[in-house]
């Protein structure tokens, strides 16, 4: 019996305790039960446990007290909380405090079994996982150290995570690290660029289709949800999903089921959702371009990636790593002038832009040192470029139009007149960019 996992279940409803105890016993697990915060803490002090399931509302306190106690005294012990139906506020509070996952009452036994199986495979906390490895997020700035700490914490939960941040700031790398450090690491990480799929193919790509479902469907096809079953589905640029697809995605996330196009039955899918976008989802909800209910489902916990201009101290290490990656074995370095210029640059395209700059400089550099002239940096779009204007602004609107026009032209030049990329670079929507170009008479 020494190797049988032990689960502490805490709830003030005897019927629910009985139900969970029977269910876990059928799974071959040993259980201990408590009805109050004090009873739970006494049991935790006196015994070994591999998982704790606790209700949020108890007669003598809150499940958050148990969670806090475990976080300080038994930090390697995963905790899942049970919340009242529809009370996502408590669930989010618990997840942010370090809970592994949550269940809503009435407790669905299939979800309980899935949660317990996943929780018992969660890796213990390990300070070694904080170190960056090849292909991971680099940088020793305070901002990046905090990001890595958050990633390690998020890897222990099953909660949906929304990663925000500018284009090129490393959102997909962060998602991959969350997956790699989680109990789902042995299963697939499936990245999907939501803006790159034609609307007519979206349902088939996400949920799959049956043979003969439509013209050209010559065989059964697995969708992204089936491919990510047991693992993580990363929805990049989720803001680009059309409203019709948002409805279908919401149902799949809520019900944990997917129906292939042409099928009559749904199939269970066990997928953790991580989403990302450079756009402001909350603002899109306000303007009706993104469903509020889907927003709350995706944005249970938010991870905000810092832009590169906020952490210039990381630029030397990043540049050196990129030189090693792109240099094909060349023994080459950045001279003092080039490094100084890079640290002063605003990097509207963030780390992705730095990679492009380094790749270009490697092609231009003749010797074993990259000089400032090899970087071929263009002025950053925006007010920094307009600072060269001399004299008083005069008419304010004319002045602002001039600044805006210059910023737009710089962005278009930098993206080789790709309007979609220019909009992303400037942090505006494609529609907004098109309106501004028309208003200012830019062809």
Domains of the chain: which residue ranges?
6-119, 142-304, 308-375, 383-439
Q: Is the pTM of this model over 0.75?
A: no
Residue 411 has pLDDT above 90, yes or no: no
Q: Which run of H or of E encompasses 101? A: strand 101-104
For residues 44 and 12, give the distance between their C-alpha atoms in angstroms, rounded to a whole number: 17
Please, what is the average pLDDT of the chain?
Answer: 84
Half-sphere exposure of 123 (CA within 13 A, CB side): 18
Contact 425, 414 (CB under 8 A): yes
pLDDT band at 104; cut points 50, 70, 90? confident
DSSP 280-338: -HHHHHHTTSS-HHHHHHH-SEEEEPPPGGG-GGGHHHHHHHHHHHHSTT---EE-HHH
Contact between 395 and 404 under an 8 Å Cβ cutoff? The reply is no
pLDDT in tens, 65-91: 999 899 888 888 889 888 875 566 677
Average pLDDT over residues 12-20: 91
Biggest distance spanned by C-alpha atoms of the chain: 84
pLDDT, one tens digit per residue, over 320-366 is 888 988 888 788 899 999 998 898 888 888 998 898 899 889 988 88
Question: Could you check whether 6-119 and 308-375 share the same CATH topology?
Answer: no
* Phi, then psi, of 409 in degrees rounded to 5: -65, -40
Helix (H), strand (E) at residue 54? strand 51-55
Beta-carbon count within 10 A of 243 CB: 11
- The fraction of the chain above a pLDDT of 90, given in percent, is 32
- Asked if pLDDT for residue 308 goes beyond 70, the answer is yes
The Cα 50–Cα 7 span in angstroms is 6
- pLDDT, tens only, 231-268: 999 999 999 999 999 999 999 998 889 999 888 888 99
Which CATH architecture group holds 142-304?
A: 3-Layer(aba) Sandwich (3.40)
The pLDDT, as a whole number, for residue 408 is 87
- b (16+ CB within 10 A) / e for 317-351: ebbebbbeebeeeeebebbeebbebbeebbbbbbb
Query: Which token pair is 377?
Result: 């940096």
What confidence score (pLDDT) does residue 87 get? 61
**pLDDT of res. 277:** 93
Class for domain 6-119, per CATH? Answer: alpha beta
Q: What is the mean predicted confidence (pLDDT) over 389-412?
A: 71
CATH architecture entry for 383-439:
Orthogonal Bundle (1.10)
Mean pLDDT along residues 387-409 = 67
306 versus 86: the higher-pLDDT residue is 306
pLDDT at 33 over 90: yes
Whether residue 285 is predicted with pLDDT greater than 70 in this model: the reply is yes
Q: At the topology level of CATH, where does 308-375 sit?
A: Helicase, Ruva Protein; domain 3 (1.10.8)
């Amino acid at each position: 019996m020494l190797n049988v996992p032990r689960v502490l279940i805490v709830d003030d409803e005897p019927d629910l305790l009985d139900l969970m105890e029977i269910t876990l016993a059928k799974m071959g697990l040993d259980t201990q039960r408590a009805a109050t915060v004090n009873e739970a803490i006494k049991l935790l002090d006196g015994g070994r446990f591999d998982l704790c399931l606790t209700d949020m509302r108890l007669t003598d306190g809150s499940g958050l007290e148990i969670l806090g106690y475990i976080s300080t005294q038994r930090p390697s012990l995963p905790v899942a909380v049970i919340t009242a139906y529809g009370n996502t506020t408590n669930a989010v509070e618990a997840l942010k405090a370090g809970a592994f996952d949550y269940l809503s009452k009435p407790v669905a036994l299939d979800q309980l079994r899935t949660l317990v199986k996943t929780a018992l495979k969660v890796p213990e906390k390990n300070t070694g996982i904080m170190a960056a490895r090849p292909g991971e997020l680099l940088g020793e700035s305070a901002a990046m150290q905090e990001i890595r700490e958050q990633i390690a914490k998020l890897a222990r939960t099953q909660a949906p995570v929304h990663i925000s941040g500018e284009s090129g700031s490393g959102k997909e790398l962060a998602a991959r690290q969350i997956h790699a450090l989680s109990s789902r690491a042995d299963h697939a990480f499936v990245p999907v660029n939501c803006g790159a799929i034609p609307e007519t193919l979206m349902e088939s790509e996400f949920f799959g289709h049956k043979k003969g479902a439509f013209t050209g469907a010559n065989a059964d096809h697995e969708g992204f949800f089936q491919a990510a079953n047991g693992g993580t589905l990363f929805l990049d640029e989720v803001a680009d999903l059309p409203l019709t697809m948002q409805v279908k995605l919401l149902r799949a996330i809520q019900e944990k089921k997917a129906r292939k196009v042409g099928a009559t039955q749904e199939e269970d899918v066990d997928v953790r959702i991580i989403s990302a976008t450079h756009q402001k989802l909350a603002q899109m909800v306000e303007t009706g371009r993104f469903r509020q209910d889907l927003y709350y489902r995706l944005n249970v916990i938010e991870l905000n990636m810092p832009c590169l201009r906020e952490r210039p101290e990381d630029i030397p290490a990043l540049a050196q790593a990129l030189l090693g990656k792109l240099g094909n074995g060349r023994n080459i370095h950045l001279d003092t002038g080039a490094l100084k210029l890079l640290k002063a640059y605003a990097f509207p395209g963030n780390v992705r832009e730095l990679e492009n700059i380094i790749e270009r400089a490697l092609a231009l550099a003749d010797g074993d040192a990259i000089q400032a002239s090899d970087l071929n940096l263009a002025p950053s779009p925006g007010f920094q470029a307009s600072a060269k204007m001399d004299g008083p602004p005069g008419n304010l609107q004319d002045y602002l139009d001039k600044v805006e026009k210059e910023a737009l032209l710089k962005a278009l030049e930098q993206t080789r007149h790709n309007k979609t990329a220019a909009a992303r670079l400037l942090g505006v929507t494609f529609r907004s960019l098109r309106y501004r170009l028309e208003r200012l008479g830019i062809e």
